[in-house]
Chain A
């Protein structure tokens, strides 16, 4: 393995960069959400403080659970998110595929959900079990439109799943979101991502007022810190993926950087706005929404993409 790949994974655009930017994105989320509720919101480095504070706290293991799986789940989740961050990041910034194409990325994202489910199921707590079940249901709900939406850039890139090919196509023909099929697919993908991150209105697995954080109920200390960090890292990974697939990528030179940051902020703020303006939906409503409304829309986008529109 080349040292450069290790650097990609550990520093940029992998763990250090994604975690750092994620914690700041998380601050933006908290700040904007606070403004929605006429509050001031936390200071810039609050998430860093929270993370290190949690590292110093006690970690509780449940007697009834399966301790090794309970501990392994958040760490495995962290590794998976770091992998996706690296693959998406190297394609986005350097235009090359590192470890896998879009199909691999889609499946790795499923693997992340698996870690949540296994962590919840290993806790031996009834709320965690219920939350784990809901997490899978939510995955089922958003996966169908997400697959369809991801197929649109693949079709536009000449039926090739490599991330670099998708970017190359957009460099040649302009951003995908400028086409009818691309715009429709982006809207679908954005909503599916909202569910993949379990953000409101799709925070069904965690549902604090119902099942008290669901899969995460028994997590505390460093293990909880990792779950929180994973969630913040997703604030980077998913917007970057959407920029890569639909918004023509992120150039690291000259005005490209400004455009890139603006694209990122646009998507992030869109996600935060959706999050703050919608109450939680029921599981069956979410499934019906994704399967009966978004999926046909995404299928229409795929058909348009095949026709080259």
Chain B
């Protein structure tokens, strides 16, 4: 039991237990030590995977390149987000937060290291429980309802995971790493569907995504960056990558269905994100929308798209946590995450704004940032895939591709609104004298922004070569050739040259003067403030979108609400059957006995 694999799980677990008793400052120190220790261990696994750990005669923990990929980024992101948490956590919930944080890390590590189905299940379930714990720390009026919803959706999907793994185990044993299950019979098909449900609920794929925006709004902002934006993606897509990369032998039609679900996730979530008035919910919907790209890439069955899907996972973890944290910084200073109330913070918080700008451009997939590189890989993979298919399938796949490309334009639009509403536009008077976020906070967002740039410029040399391609090879994909053409370094160099040339002309010729804004003779005042939240009113009022938006507002498409309505409806029916009269109950028993006799033959 002294394997380093055990230690990677045990160290943060021990920190979590210790943190139950320590004072706050020590809790923080212990967590940092725990993550760094884990990081050092994981660094040691690089190129030299440790021996597997056996328990009761079967392999329990094991490390391959796919799990190494997830494990490494769990530690990287865990450390950076914790840097943000060092100062500025909500004092009311800080103590519990510092227990849940290492506990979540331990569960996530356990999940990706478990090669046995039962171990995987246990750690997966526990990480869901930790998620519920974070949700309970929320303080808004709807926080408890959100926690319940999160628990029911994510916890409920664990039931499917259990059933799926058990069904899969019937045909190929409990090992997650070595199995190859053909989708031949109904049991295997059902196992696939159940595991898909579990992965979608965790990662936030359509239609099981509805807990993500609510959790993002109500839970502490650090936990929104940590779980739905980062770890839950790493875990959910890890499971999906295992399923699509060898665990099941998936046919073209099934792949197409999953790719379509991915494309729908992109579009549906981003359309909802565009109209949000709450900054956190907006980011939550984008956390969902980005999963769509990963699902499309990983499910397509094309080597480049698969690698692109995994790379997009990393990129999303970076820019999405960056955006959540940047909004968190703004929110902690300005006291609100409502987009209608914020505005003009760029002057007071220039560092935070610059980091958020990098995050926004990255998530919108603009070159030369990281989000573009992974999307570009996915697009090319899908294009090449479509080229080899029959016309009907090709058109189907192209439609999915168009949805993805258009989704990124919508993402851009949504983030223009976000930046305008939070950082630009006119500053409300009550924000006079607001200060920049504490150094640890913009250092954390700055590190994430830096990684966004580095992963965009040196994609080939750093993330792809070290992490993504080995993981994709582990899933059975080889030969990553690009049919397209893209030189991010050249683009950046030429951009800088062009920009500097322009700047030189400006500096040499400009005579500048500062003056108030001109609005046709009116005195600029608060009344003329454009918050940006109504940028897309025309779209929400357009037919047939208007009806859809209205119904979405009434939660007509929320699986959770539909499910609870169905459950309450059913229980209401059953309630009415309880008349309290003895004769009725005797009749029930009689019917039951009759039914039993018929069924028993």
Binding site for B on A (CB under 8 A): 1, 5-6, 9-10, 15, 55-67, 69, 71-72, 74-76, 78-80, 82-83, 86, 97-101, 103-104, 106-108, 110-111, 114, 117-118, 121-127, 129-130, 132-133, 136-137, 139-140, 143-144, 147-148, 151, 154-155, 158-163, 212, 217-218, 221-223, 226, 283-284, 287-288, 299, 302-303, 306-307
B387 touches A158 (CB 8 A): yes
Give B364 Cβ to nearest chain A Cβ, in Å: 8
Q: How far is the CA of A246 from the CA of B283 in the complex (A)?
A: 39
Q: Report which residue of B394, B412, B498 has the largest number of chain A beta carbons within 10 angstroms of its beta carbon.
A: B498
B244 to chain A, nearest CB (A): 22
Contact with A along B401-417 (1 / 0, CB 8 A): 11001101110110011
Closest residue to A68 on the B side, CB-wise? Answer: B350
Residues of B within 8 A of A98 (CB): 487, 490
Which of B405, B499, B511, B538 meets A58, CB within 8 Å? B511
In the assembled complex, the CB of B397 is this many whole angstroms from the nearest CB of chain A, namely 10
Determine the distance from Cα of A222 to Cα of B485 in the docked complex, in whole angstroms.
Answer: 35
Which of A64, A111, A284, A299 has a CB less than 8 Å from the CB of B366? A111
- Which residues of the other chain, A, contact B399 by a CB distance below 8 angstroms? 299
Does B486 lie within 8 Å of A9, measured CB to CB?
A: no
Q: Which bracket fits the contact residues of B?
A: 35 or more
Check B485 against A107 for contact (C-beta < 8 Å): no
Question: Nearest 7 pairs between A and B by C-beta?
Answer: A79-B498, A159-B387, A129-B530, A75-B502, A121-B424, A133-B535, A125-B517
B554: interface (CB < 8 Å): no
Interchain CB contact under 8 A, A154 and B383: yes
Of the residues A108, A129, A133, A284, contact of B541 by C-beta under 8 Å: A284
Query: Which of B426, B484, B517, B532 contacts A162, CB < 8 Å?
Result: B484
Q: Give the Cβ gap from A146 to chain B, nearest Cβ, in Å.
A: 9
A125 to B520, CA, bound (A): 11
**A-B contact sample (9 more), CB < 8 A, given A59-B511, A124-B426:** A63-B517, A103-B380, A104-B485, A126-B426, A129-B425, A133-B535, A159-B386, A160-B484, A283-B538
**Smallest CB separation, A75 vs chain B (Å):** 4
For the complex, give the distance between the alpha carbons of A158 and B485 in Å. Answer: 15
* B501 contacts partner chain A, Cβ-Cβ < 8 Å: yes
Give Cα distance in the complex from A123 to B514, angstroms.
12
Do A63 and B425 have beta carbons less than 8 Å apart?
no
Assess whether B517 is in contact with A124, with CB atoms less than 8 Å apart: yes
Q: Which residues of B contact A104 (CB under 8 A)?
A: 367, 372, 376, 484-486, 491
Residues of B within 8 A of A (CB): 344, 346-347, 353, 361, 364-367, 372, 376, 379-380, 383-384, 386-387, 391, 394-395, 398-399, 401-402, 405-406, 408-410, 412-413, 416-417, 419-420, 424-427, 483-487, 490-491, 493-499, 501-503, 505-506, 509-520, 524, 528-530, 532, 534-536, 538-539, 541-542
27 intermolecular pairs with C-beta atoms under 8 Å apart: A9-B494, A57-B511, A74-B502, A76-B495, A79-B495, A99-B487, A100-B367, A101-B485, A104-B367, A104-B372, A104-B491, A110-B364, A110-B409, A118-B419, A133-B534, A154-B383, A160-B383, A160-B483, A161-B379, A161-B380, A162-B483, A162-B485, A163-B485, A222-B505, A226-B502, A284-B542, A287-B542
The answer on a CB contact under 8 Å between B394 and A306 is yes
Asked whether B486 lies within 8 Å of A100 as measured between CB atoms, the reply is yes
Q: Is the CB of A126 within 8 A of B394?
A: no
CA distance A111 to B409 in the complex (A): 10
Contact of A139 with B539 in the complex, beta carbons under 8 Å: no
Q: Contacts A100-B485, A126-B519 hold; do A221 and B530 have CB atoms under 8 A apart?
A: no
Contact A62 B517 (CB under 8 A): yes
Q: A63 touching B486 by the CB < 8 A rule?
A: no
Given A110-B412, A137-B536, A63-B516 contact (CB < 8 Å): yes
Chain A residue numbers with a CB within 8 Å of B502 are 74-75, 78-79, 226
The answer to whether A99 touches B491, judged by C-beta atoms less than 8 angstroms apart, is yes
In the complex, the answer to whether B510 meets A86 with C-beta atoms within 8 Å is: no
Q: Most B CB atoms within 10 A — which of A126, A223, A226, A307?
A: A126
Report chain B residues within 8 Å CB of A160: 383, 483-484
Chain A residues near B529 (CB-CB < 8 A): 126
Given A124-B517, A125-B518, A162-B483: A114 and B366 interface contact (C-beta under 8 Å): yes
Most A Cβ at <10 Å: residue of B420, B424, B520, B524: B424
Q: How far is the CB of B382 from chain A (nearest CB, A)?
A: 9
Are B402 and A66 in contact, with the CB atoms below 8 A? no
A284→B536 CA distance, assembly (Å): 10
**Chain B min CB distance to A142 (Å):** 9
Option from B383, B513, B528 in Cβ contact (under 8 Å) with A60: B513
Closest A residue to B380 by beta carbon equals: A161
For residue B490, which residues in chain A have a CB less than 8 angstroms away from its CB? 1, 5, 98-99
- A64 to chain B: which residues have CB within 8 Å? 344, 426-427, 516-517, 524
User: In the complex, A265→B586 CA distance in Å?
Assistant: 91
Query: In whole angstroms, how far apart are the Cα atoms of A71 and B514 in the complex?
Result: 13
In Å, the complex CA distance between A223 and B387 comes to: 46
The docked-state distance in angstroms from the alpha carbon of A287 to that of B412 is 17
Counting chain B CB atoms within 10 Å of each CB, which of A6, A66, A283, A302 scores highest?
Answer: A66
Docked complex Cα distance between A193 and B388 (Å): 31
- Return chain B residues, CB-CB under 8 Å to A162: 483-485
Complex: chain B residue closest to A87, CB-CB: B491
Q: How far is the CA of A117 from the CA of B412 in the complex (A)?
A: 11
Complex CA gap A299/B402 in Å reads 10
How far, in whole Å, are A221 and B346 apart by their CA atoms in the complex? Answer: 24
Residues of B with C-beta under 8 A to A97: 485
Bound CA–CA A288/B542 (angstroms): 8
Least CB distance, A174 to chain B, in whole angstroms: 21
CB-CB under 8 A for A71 and B506, given A80-B495, A132-B420, A159-B386: yes
Q: How far is the CB of B315 from chain A (nearest CB, A)?
A: 15
Cross-chain contact B517 with A218 (CB below 8 angstroms): yes
B365 in contact with A107 (CB, 8 Å): yes
Q: Is the CB of A133 within 8 A of B426?
A: no
Return chain A residues, CB-CB under 8 Å to B417.
133, 136
Given contacts A62-B517, A100-B486, A126-B519, contact A76 B376 (CB under 8 A): no
Task: Flag if B419 contacts A121 (CB, 8 Å).
Answer: yes
From B402, B419, B494, B520, contact of A151 by CB (8 A): B402
Nearest neighbor of B527 in chain A, beta-carbon distance: A126
Contact pick for B495, options A10, A83, A106, A284, CB 8 Å: A83
Complex-state Cα separation, A6 to B347, whole angstroms:
36
Tell whether, in the assembled complex, residue B406 and residue A144 are in contact, meaning their CB atoms are under 8 Å apart: yes
- Which A residues are CB-close (under 8 A) to B538? 137, 283-284, 287
Q: Are B532 and A129 touching (Cβ within 8 A)? A: yes
Report Cα–Cα, A100/B488, bound state, in Å.
Answer: 8
Q: Given A139-B409, A159-B386, are A114 and B486 neighbors across the interface (CB < 8 Å)?
A: no
Tell me the minimal C-beta distance from B151 to chain A in angstroms. Answer: 36
What are the residues of chain B within 8 A of A158 when measuring CB–CB?
A: 387
How far is it, in angstroms, between the C-alpha of A86 and the C-alpha of B514 when the chains are bound? 36
B161 CB to nearest chain A CB (Å):
37
A6 → B minimal CB distance (Å): 8
Report how far A139 CA is from B420 CA in the complex, Å: 16
Contact A148 B347 (CB under 8 A): no
Residues of B within 8 A of A118 (CB): 416, 419, 424
Inter-subunit contact A151/B398 (CB<8 Å): yes
Whether A307 pairs with B485 at a CB distance below 8 angstroms is no
Q: Is the CB of A222 within 8 A of B510?
A: yes
Q: List residues of chain B with CB within 8 A of the CB of A302.
A: 395, 398, 402
Q: Using CB atoms, name the residue of chain A closest to B353.
A: A66
